[in-house]
């Protein structure tokens, strides 16, 4: 509804904001900025951020995108668990699905930021590696419900 009240350039600005660009970059994307200083662009972008109809349109569009991402992530997680639990699935598919599902947990991410005493983290990882599959499934179910 708010979209009908926006100009084509405001719609382009909204779309750029929803795609992840910041206010100034979104302004550069939507408007002709050839004769504008960086400060002027920043000021104009700030004005657009305060535009009541445009800011509502940006917020609404971002909410739709976020809802879609959450829904898709949930669908992917359910599909991964279906593969993990399917005893007839090839072992490689089950391992790949488990690997995908494990990326949701910081302990299993491929990049770790370590600070403090690493001994406790290593011991925790050793303990996690010994947890039976049924318990891992239960942890996954609890994480999905959050």
Please tell me the predicted confidence (pLDDT) of residue 115.
63
Whether 98 and 84 have beta carbons less than 8 Å apart is answered as: yes
119: which 2 tokens? Answer: 């001994």
First and final C-alpha spacing in the chain: 33
User: In 3-state terms, what secondary structure has residue 107?
Assistant: helix
Please tell me the predicted confidence (pLDDT) of residue 85.
85
Task: Work out the mean pLDDT of the chain and round it to a whole number.
Answer: 82
DSSP 86: -
Angstrom distance (rounded) from CA 106 to CA 97: 17
Each residue's pLDDT expressed in tens, for the chain with a length of 146 residues: 566 889 999 999 999 998 888 999 999 999 999 999 999 999 999 999 999 899 898 888 888 887 776 677 778 888 888 888 888 878 888 888 888 887 777 666 666 565 666 677 677 777 777 778 787 778 777 777 76
Please tell me the predicted confidence (pLDDT) of residue 107.
65
Angstrom distance (rounded) from CA 32 to CA 28: 7
For the chain, give every domain's residue range.
2-65, 74-145
Angstrom distance (rounded) from CA 75 to CA 4: 33
Angstrom distance (rounded) from CA 45 to CA 12: 13
Please tell me the predicted confidence (pLDDT) of residue 116.
64
Please tell me the predicted confidence (pLDDT) of residue 63.
84
29: which 2 tokens? Answer: 């994307």
């Amino acid at each position: 509804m708010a979209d009908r009240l926006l100009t084509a350039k405001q719609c382009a600005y909204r779309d750029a904001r929803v795609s992840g660009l910041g206010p100034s970059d979104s302004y550069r994307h939507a408007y002709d900025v050839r004769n504008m200083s960086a400060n002027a662009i920043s000021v104009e972008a700030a004005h657009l951020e305060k535009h009541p109809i445009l800011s509502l349109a940006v917020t609404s569009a971002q909410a739709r995108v976020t809802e879609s991402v959450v829904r898709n992530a949930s669908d992917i997680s359910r599909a991964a668990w279906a593969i993990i639990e399917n005893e007839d699935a090839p072992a490689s598919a089950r391992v790949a699905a488990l690997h995908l599902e494990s990326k949701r947990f910081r302990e299993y991410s491929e990049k770790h930021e370590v600070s403090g005493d690493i001994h406790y983290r290593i011991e925790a990882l050793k303990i996690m590696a010994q947890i039976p599959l049924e318990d891992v499934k239960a942890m996954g179910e609890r994480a999905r419900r959050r």
